[in-house]
Amino acid sequence: MNYSTFLKYTAMAAATITILSCSKEKKEALKTKEDTKINGIYTLQPYDSNKSTLSQSKKQQIKDSMQYLYDKEFATNKFSGAVLVAQNGEIIYEKYDGMSDFKNKKTIDQNTPLHIASVSKVLTATATLLLIDSKKIQLDQKVNTILPDFPYEDITIRTLLNHRTGLRNYSYFVDKKEIWNKRDTLQNSDLIPIINKHNIQLEFKTGTRFSYCNTNYAILALIIEKITKMDYRTAMKKLIFKPLDMKNTFVFDMKKNGDTCSNSYKGNYIQYPLNHLDDIYGDKNIYSTVRDLLKFDMATYNPSFLNKNLLKEVYKGYSYESRGTRNYGLGIRLLEWEDGKQLFYHNGWWHGSTSAYVTMKKEKATLICISNKYTRKTYYMKLATGLFGDYPFHIRKKGEALLE
């Protein structure tokens, strides 16, 4: 074989290897979503983009503006918690302050899990959507076909997710001593028996209006358990936390974590004691960090996150019976303006813990704040949206009104 022939065959072999390699990679990419299933259920997969598309000058502007906001509003309130701002997965600004345990002087850092309150609903909704995407349940399936003792005929998975069921908040009806003894810790499994025994009626006809209600998500947790054949804590770990390497995220267990997890405080540093409602999950009770929540947010950009038709159902409003910009999708709040612009977010509040999660889909920006000492400043994170796009919220400088 002469040298030119050798080069010809070498080039052909290299091309064949390249084609086969690309074909294999493509095949593996196509198989990825199926290969991640657990008991036939899709798991959430990471989206490993951690490079901002913003210029250095723009990133510096965001850092400076966030530091101004922190100094003016958070520091003056003696903030205790964590703040994070990222774009396309790259952290542009983060701040940790205060203590998870003031008595024992345990400081908060990037690995300190804090109670994210109702931002937990976003994660519960995601687990439910994974079950739908895996064809284990249907979005408009009636709840009583899954939980036979559930007494309300017209309530579906969708109406649980978008808070249009008419269910009463469990914290109100178990507040009556003839219904529940507050010396006993309430469990999710107690809810349906209580509803049936005491003939708890709906507040309004299902589907007729929006009413934010924690009971909806406590029931969704029961559905997750029934379909996955795992307890909620295990299901959330296997479907979301572990695949995304959310190492500092867990569902609170009063017996296991009651004496060791981060504490919750009033604004005057008085610690909130745990009570009879502190072991209910689905609507609350997930502890996490701002960095772990960033991993979650980035996973929602993964092409394998949910099928396109289901994704459209998530990020749209369902409640137009009242005029205004506020609405609710499937496990996410949204603001909508007449020009078609949307902003997606969820806030939380339980005892002294407050939380804010803002996900700007067009700009791929993530704004997160968690506090374990009561403050409403947490919700000021939406002011930072004006740093990324044409939104009607801005961090005002000295001499200007902070809120628009």
pLDDT class of 24 with cuts at 50, 70, 90: very low
Residue carrying the six token digits 């072999």? 13
Distance CA 369, CA 352 (A): 14
Under the banding of pLDDT at 50, 70 and 90, the label for residue 35 is confident
Amino acid at 313: E
d(CA 292, CA 246) in angstroms, rounded, equals 5
Residue 250: pLDDT above 50? yes
Domains and CATH numbers, the chain: 56-387 (3.40.710.10)
What distance in Å separates the CA atoms of residue 12 and residue 304, rounded to the nearest whole number?
35
Q: CB atoms < 10 A from the CB of 210, how many?
A: 18
End-to-end CA distance of the chain: 79
pLDDT at 21: 46
pLDDT value, residue 91: 97
More confident of the two residues 27 and 376: 376
Residue 36 pLDDT class (50, 70, 90 cuts):
confident
Residue 18 main-chain phi, psi, to 5 deg: -65, -45
Region of 251 (left: φ > 0; alpha: ψ -120 to 50; beta: rest) is: beta
pLDDT tens digits along 345-371: 999 999 999 999 999 999 999 999 999
pLDDT score for 27: 43
Backbone CA torsion sign across 108, 113, 117, 121: positive
pLDDT tens digits, 99-155 = 999 999 999 999 999 999 999 999 999 999 999 999 999 999 999 999 999 999 999
Cβ atoms within 10 Å, residue 178: 6
What pLDDT, on the 0 to 100 scale, is given for residue 159?
98
pLDDT over 60 at 15, yes or no: no
Q: Is the pLDDT at 18 greater than 80, yes or no?
A: no
DSSP for 217-240 reads: HHHHHHHHHHHHTS-HHHHHIIII
Neighbours of 390 (CB within 10 A): 9
User: How many angstroms separate the CA atoms of 304 and 280, rounded?
Assistant: 31
Q: What is the pLDDT of residues 304-338, one digit of tens each?
A: 999 999 999 999 999 999 889 999 999 999 999 99
pLDDT tens-digit map of 38-50:
999 999 999 987 7
* 17 pLDDT higher than 50: no
The rounded percent of the chain whose pLDDT value lies above 90 is 85
Q: Is the pLDDT of residue 376 over 90?
A: yes
Contacts of 87 (CB under 8 A, 6+ apart): 52, 53, 54, 59, 62, 363, 364, 365, 366, 388
CA 395 remoteness from chain centre: 25
CA distance linking residue 234 with residue 222, whole number of Å: 13
Backbone angles phi, psi at 33, to 5 degrees: -60, -40
Give me Rg for the CA atoms of the chain.
Answer: 24
